[in-house]
Amino acid sequence: MKESSRPPSEKNGGISSHQNLDSSEPEILSCVVCNQTLENNDKYDFYKICPTCNFHFSISARARIEQLADPGSFKEINQSLISLDPIKFSSRNSYKDAISHNQTRTGLTEATVTGKCSINGSPVMLIILDFGFMGGSMGNVVGEKIALAFEQATKKNLPVISVITSGGTRIEEGMISLMQMSKTALSANIHNKKGLPFITILANPSTGQAYGSFANLADIILAEPGAILGFSPLGIIQQHSSKKVSTDSHTSESHLKHGLLDAIIDRNKLREISGILLDLLGPNYQITKTNNTRERNLVNYSTQAWNSVQIARHKNRPTSKDYISKLFMSFVELHGDRIQEDDNSIITGFGRLDGQTIAVIAQESGRGKNSENHFEGRTSPAGFRKAQRLMKLATKFNTPLITLIDTPGPRLSTEAESNGLGNIIASTIKLISELEVPTLSIIIGEGGSAAALSLSVTDRVMMLENAIYTALSPEEAAELLFQDQQKAKDIVESLKLTSKDCENLGIADIIIPEPRKGAHSDHNEAARELRIFILEELTTLNRSSSRRLIRQRMKKFRNVGNIDSRLKSLILKEANTLEKIVSSRVASIRARISNQVKES
């Protein structure tokens, strides 16, 4: 490895993304997939995307930079590092000649381009691998440039975005090539420990050493549609398999389904999404002040438990998706547990609430026929792992966590049990209880069993007026006691599952009023009321240190069910209410006296 002057094609400003890098390749006039013409099409000309079938053609590292970075903002670093022949590799063709040929053909010094730029105004370090240069493989120089980019980003407190088009091993460098996996992974880990965002974009193809090292350590992993992804190429897997391997197993779409990606994003949307994510995960404002806190007057239009059950389950009641769309700006949903699957009963992501970034975990029960796609809100082990991912990201980026609870319970099956349902519920409770950021849970519909509890061991537990929170559903309790689910109505009062019951038991801290006929009658009003209460509580919680939050959280849940604690809580609430009344009367008397003095 040594420093060298730039190859001829990189001088005088580098290459344009519209320039044909290999003059021996004819200009593509029609799509290789759908055969539609590509002439005079802006989408193809700049993004190299077929406007008919959305096929994403390969593009160079320079084109990537032009598409992602703000105009004129990219400043390349470590450009002069070039590869030598570290192990004196012996073959028919000289390794040095192969490097020289690739430099001339692509205009790059090596298979990666690194540098600083801004995306939608947010500063960032870019790491771009180019498949056109020896398959984007990681030799000593590629690994060194990537490690140096992470180290400089760590030193300057910059987020990192890597774009991967890479495959295989730089065989000409043997074990030196393999060791770049550890070098780059360690550098990414040091960057991670400083709490800085790291986003990976996987393009076609993304396999081999880059995929199996730093690229998969990113906080958020995006991919282009139809990209070939995986550690081993399909051909190698087929050699080791007695059955025919499906070509679909290595696609972006398959990876998303199996929980290995956060999202699939079209190339022409990558700059926008990257900019939003950098904005959400970067330095942000805290909610520290709201209007004067209103006196909370809860109007109960019905106190019957069975009525609450019916309203909580109403077919038109707002779901988590409804509230997310009305509460949070620039919400970006993140998918998958990075292990097995993407559970549609759990929504996770980041969004803005009054300028502050909020981490959101929501149980989505769906509505009507759509409820089947969300398993009626029943959470699987993969769903709990997905939630845990978001909790860890909330801690890393120091963002408050809000959970929206709406589930009849965990997904009950032999498959769930064999995948560690009990273990993952227990570890989720442990993790959320120890988070060092403000946490709020809101039960918006049904709060069923351990699936609800595991996401509501938080600093504040809030319930919508007609929400319910219960260890067993009324039907399950009736079956257990009377062997007859039809007697659910007879037992529901005894379950103490209403918001008022939970407040009296010291389980729910705050009850949020709903529109007179229930949240289903006016989604906008229900969301507006919820937003006001969330802002009031975040104002208070944002002022507390991490140590104090954890200490008070532990004390709160340690004392649930304690008679003395409940009595003290009730007395304190009564005292606070009395204090407000007295303060209000005193202010009224003072105002009246002041007016009399002025009149006299």
Residue 32 inside a domain? The answer is no
Same-domain status, 270 and 347: no
List the one residue out of 390, 392, 417 whose CA is nearest residue 404. 390
Same-domain status, 107 and 235: yes
Residues 6+ apart with CB under 8 A from 516: 299, 301
Please tell me the predicted confidence (pLDDT) of residue 569.
Answer: 61
Residue 306 inside a domain? The answer is no
Same-domain status, 513 and 398: yes
Residue 377 inside a domain? The answer is yes
Same-domain status, 367 and 464: yes
List the one residue out of 192, 256, 188, 246 whose CA is nearest residue 223. 256
Amino acid at 510: I
Residue that the structure tokens 């570890």 belong to: 427
Same-domain status, 446 and 492: yes
Give the strand pairing for 2-3 and 160-166: unpaired
Residues 561-565: contacts with CB within 8 Å, 24+ apart?
A: 561/505, 561/506, 565/506
Same-domain status, 382 and 335: yes
Give the strand pairing for 356-363 and 346-353: antiparallel
Residue 296 inside a domain? The answer is no
Q: Residue 460 belongs to what H/E stretch? A: strand 460-464
Residue 34 inside a domain? The answer is no
Residue 305 inside a domain? The answer is no
The Cα–Cα gap between 64 and 66 comes to 5
Same-domain status, 501 and 424: yes
Same-domain status, 166 and 90: yes
Residue 72 inside a domain? The answer is yes
Q: Which two tokens stand for residue 88?
A: 């004196």
Domain count, the chain: 3
Same-domain status, 577 and 488: no
User: H helices within 411-509, ranges in order?
Assistant: 414-418, 421-433, 449-453, 474-482, 488-491, 499-504
Same-domain status, 324 and 277: no
What are residue 221's DSSP bridge partners? 200
Q: Which two tokens stand for residue 269?
A: 């949307």
Same-domain status, 555 and 566: no
Same-domain status, 258 and 374: no
What are residue 263's DSSP bridge partners? 222
Buried b / exposed e over 500-531, threshold 16 CB at 10 Å, is bbbbeebbbbbbbbbbeebbbebbeebbebbb
Q: Mind listing the pLDDT tens digit of every residue in the chain (600 residues)?
A: 655 544 434 433 333 333 333 433 456 789 999 999 999 899 999 999 999 999 999 999 999 999 999 999 999 999 989 888 887 887 778 898 899 999 999 999 999 999 999 999 999 999 999 999 999 999 999 999 999 999 999 999 999 999 999 988 898 999 999 999 999 999 999 999 999 999 999 999 999 999 999 999 999 999 999 999 999 877 788 788 878 878 788 899 999 999 999 999 999 999 999 999 999 999 877 777 645 555 555 454 456 899 999 999 999 999 999 999 999 999 999 999 999 999 999 999 999 999 999 999 999 998 877 788 898 999 999 999 999 999 999 999 999 999 999 999 999 999 999 999 999 999 999 999 999 999 999 999 999 999 999 999 999 999 999 999 999 999 999 999 999 999 999 999 999 999 999 999 999 999 999 999 999 999 999 999 999 999 999 999 999 999 999 999 999 999 988 766 555 665 566 666 666 666 666 677 777 777 777 676
Task: List the domain range (segments joined by +) for residue 9.
Answer: 2-21+60-281
Residue that the structure tokens 């160079």 belong to: 60
Residue 210 inside a domain? The answer is yes
Q: Cβ of 80: how many Cβ atoms within 10 Å?
A: 12
Residues 6+ apart with CB under 8 A from 21: 15, 60, 105, 106, 107, 132
Which CATH number fits the domain that encloses residue 216?
A: 3.90.226.10
Query: Is the CB of residue 70 less than 8 Å from the CB of residue 106?
Result: no
The Cα–Cα gap between 166 and 137 comes to 6
